[in-house]
Structure 1
């Protein structure tokens, strides 16, 4: 697979070990790409160990205060893309009124077609975590997660679920689709936590 212009930056403190920097944004997924012509039936559910479960329409999410961070992303397959400018809603803004139960320690992100990935609650709630609809000034393409994807930049990018549809709060760690199929439960790129045997 060709990623476009690639430069090896072993000594760059922004690039984790054994990653190659690319200026392109490779498309990697398994299964079908969902396409939406009408978002009137799309929603995002928040449930599980919360006092106030919520369901947001796309319009309701767009009405929340905006966040526009820039960060680097690192794929488990070995590429890194620097200086990604996002627009969306900070995770903390989305969940501020749901009343997360004190015993909730993990989240499971649910995407279209049954895809899931797990995160420790503290990682999901980091200041850098975002629910994004725009990348580098353009709406996300269907291949990159339109209409909404998670962005959790400090972990390998499979943890930033595309086509996000639900956020479930849980008391214990529950492996998602990729974790059940050999990917690491946590996925720290700086420790090269790529696979379950790492």
Structure 2
């Protein structure tokens, strides 16, 4: 994990045993059912169980990001690089979404209400160059994950600052996190600070540790 930026402080320490156990899960194919479905046929993806709480999962390190120090940068293959502070971010059009989330550790939670800024609005500001095809999210704790540009540009994708009508708690990625509801939730990076557009794909933290590059829950793309 990299050092945080913008003077952000970290609490906790990286849980190496947890990371090793998750890598072992990938090697062994833990939780795989061998089944597939579609969102149209089944609201709950294969192998998932429904929960009503919001489990906290991280690598053991949680950044403390003061709002006056928070920045969201959109960089790489864009015509207009962006460095939005909290005020500028909240001055953008604000939207509400309700959707389900699905974690690769086999829990799903229905009807989450998010408030934030749509990915499409952010991309309109930055104006991706024609050669941009992939996105890498960089978090304040050093975490990264990757998706194709068309996945980030989907209608329901956002950078969220609130969950169920209250500001997003630090343990869940506050002040702001990515939300990509149609994919396993490790793609929805917590504590996001930089959105990098690239011509070539760059697998992130879990993707280089045996997890699937696409992460479609209905295809049960848990592992590579």
What are the residue-to-residue correspondences of 1:39-54 with 2, within 5 Å? 39-54=67-82
Cα RMSD of the aligned pairs, angstroms, is 1.2
> Match for 1:116 among 135, 138, 144?
144
CA distance in 2, matches of 1:49, 1:31: 32
DSSP-derived class of the 1:24 partner = coil
Deviations 1:63-118 (A, max 9, x none): 11111000000000000000000000101111202120111110000001210000
Q: For residue 143 of structure 1, what is the aligned residue in structure 2? A: 171
What are the residue-to-residue correspondences of 1:124-163 with 2, within 5 Å? 124-163=152-191
- How many residue pairs match? The answer is 185
CA distance in 2, matches of 1:98, 1:146: 23
CA contact (8 A) 2:141 2:191 kept: no
Q: Which of structure 1's runs of 4+ aligned residues deviate more than 6 A?
A: none
CA distance in 1, matches of 2:127, 2:178: 20
Q: For residue 33 of structure 1, what is the aligned residue in structure 2? A: 62
TM-score, normalised with respect to structure 2: 0.80
Structure showing the higher helix proportion among its residues: 2
Please report how far the alpha carbon of residue 31 of structure 1 lies from its aligned counterpart in structure 2 after TM superposition: 2.9
TM-score, normalised with respect to structure 1: 0.91
DSSP-derived class of the 1:172 partner = coil
> Match for 1:21 among 47, 50, 70?
50
2:121 counterpart of 1:93: yes
Structure 2 residue runs of 5 or longer lacking an equivalent are: 1-36
Larger RCO, structures 1/2 (Cα 8 Å, 6+ apart): 2
Q: For residue 6 of structure 1, what is the aligned residue in structure 2? A: none
DSSP-derived class of the 2:59 partner = coil
Q: For residue 205 of structure 2, what is the aligned residue in structure 1? A: 177
Please report how far the alpha carbon of residue 186 of structure 1 lies from its aligned counterpart in structure 2 after TM superposition: 0.8
CA distance in 2, matches of 1:34, 1:105: 29
CA distance in 2, matches of 1:112, 1:58: 15
